[in-house]
Chain A
Amino acid sequence: AQSVTQLGSHVSVSEGALVLLRCNYSSSVPPYLFWYVQYPNQGLQLLLKYTSAATLVKGINGFEAEFKKSETSFHLTKPSAHMSDAAEYFCAVSRGGGSNYKLTFGKGTLLTVNP
Chain B
Amino acid sequence: EPEVTQTPSHQVTQMGQEVILRCVPISNHLYFYWYRQILGQKVEFLVSFYNNEISEKSEIFDDQFSVERPDGSNFTLKIRSTKLEDSAMYFCAGRGRTNEKLFFGSGTQLSVL
Residues of A within 8 A of B (CB): 32, 36, 41-46, 49, 51, 90, 92, 94, 97, 99-108
Q: Which residue of the partner chain B has the closest CB to A97?
A: B100
Q: Is the CB of B100 within 8 A of A44?
A: no
Asked if B43 and A101 make an inter-chain contact with CB atoms under 8 angstroms apart, the answer reads no
CA distance A101 to B94 in the complex (A): 11
* Chain B residue at minimum C-beta to C-beta distance from A41: B106
Interface SS of chain B: strand
Cα distance A45–B31 when bound, in Å?
Answer: 17
Bound-state CA distance A71–B55 (Å) is 33
* Chain B interface size, under 10 / 10 to 19 / 20 to 34 / 35 or more: 20 to 34
**6 additional contacts, CB 8 Å, given A32-B100, A49-B101, A51-B100?**
A44-B104, A100-B48, A100-B55, A104-B45, A105-B35, A108-B42
Known: A43-B106, A44-B43. A102 touches B101 (CB 8 A): no
Is there a chain A Cβ closer than 8 Å to B20's Cβ?
no
Candidates B4, B41, B48, B50; contact of A102 at CB < 8 Å: B48
Give the chain A neighbours of B45 by CB distance below 8 A: 102-104
A45 and B1 alpha carbons, distance in the complex (Å):
12
Chain B 41-57 residues near chain A, CB threshold 8 A: 41-45, 48, 50, 55-56
